[in-house]
Chain A
Amino acid sequence: SQTIHQWPATLVQPVGSPLSLECTVEGTSNPNLYWYRQAAGRGLQLLFYSVGIGQISSEVPQNLSASRPQDRQFILSSKKLLLSDSGFYLCAWSPPRTGGLYEQYFGPGTRLTVT
């Protein structure tokens, strides 16, 4: 079965500090990978998605970036955090199918507080 991991689970960082969040998926090959952010009491905002190693597409302009150095590893980064970067960061994966099923499965998330 497939498992998705995220770390750290919680993070408190000062404004202007760098950020690195990691996501790994087990039990599948060539998954589509996604980073979402959920602000308190708000919906899910898609930040980045990736269909393969080194292939990153950005959905929203911001001070965040993403990388996919390995097939099942997805990293979210920032050089300088803003207060508005606080939120619940979720990594998700979906099977690399075409047509039909497009379900996504979420990791446990990282709760980031920028102070």
Chain B
Amino acid sequence: QKEVEQNSGPLSVPEGAIASLNCTYSDRVSQSFFWYRQYSGKSPELIMSIYSNGDKEDGRFTAQLNKASQYVSLLIRDSQPSDSATYLCAVNKKSGYNKLIFGAGTRLAVHP
């Protein structure tokens, strides 16, 4: 079992729809969870972080965390073609240093 799992996609949604990206993790003691956006040929960019169960909203983005189910998701409302990218889920691995475990990413395609 991979430590952080994501559906590779592509997830195709029409412009204006809600895109839902999902991520599961195996380490029950993980404390911090992050979503990165990576455009083709570019480096990952941090877009959301979440540490407590529930929802966290930032503009069109909402991160949802359920520690009991070891599940974290990212919702993108009013999806735009500019949201087309690969979204990486990252989970803090509790250890003696700050280490993030990354999922392989979900490719999102928003079509007009």
Contacts and interface: CB of A to CB of B under 8 A. Distances in A.
B97 A104 contact: no
A102 B103 CA distance: 16
A46 B44 contact: no
Given A43-B104, A51-B97, A100-B51, A90 B92 contact: no
A44 B3 CA distance: 13
A49 interface: yes
B32 A102 contact: yes
Given A43-B103, A44-B88, A101-B32, A106 B45 contact: yes
Nearest to A6: B43
B46 A94 contact: no
Interface residues of B, number: 23
Interface in B50-103: 51, 88, 90, 92, 97-100, 102-103
A54 to B, nearest CB: 15
Contact of B43 (A51, A102, A108): A108
B43 A49 contact: no
Nearest to A107: B43
B92 A102 contact: yes
Interface string A70-105: 000000000000000000101000100000111111
Given A103-B32, A103-B49, 15 more contacts: A32-B97, A42-B104, A44-B102, A102-B31, A102-B32, A102-B92, A102-B98, A103-B46, A104-B34, A104-B46, A104-B100, A106-B44, A107-B43, A108-B42, A108-B43
Interface of B: 31-32, 34, 36, 41-46, 49, 51, 88, 90, 92, 97-100, 102-105
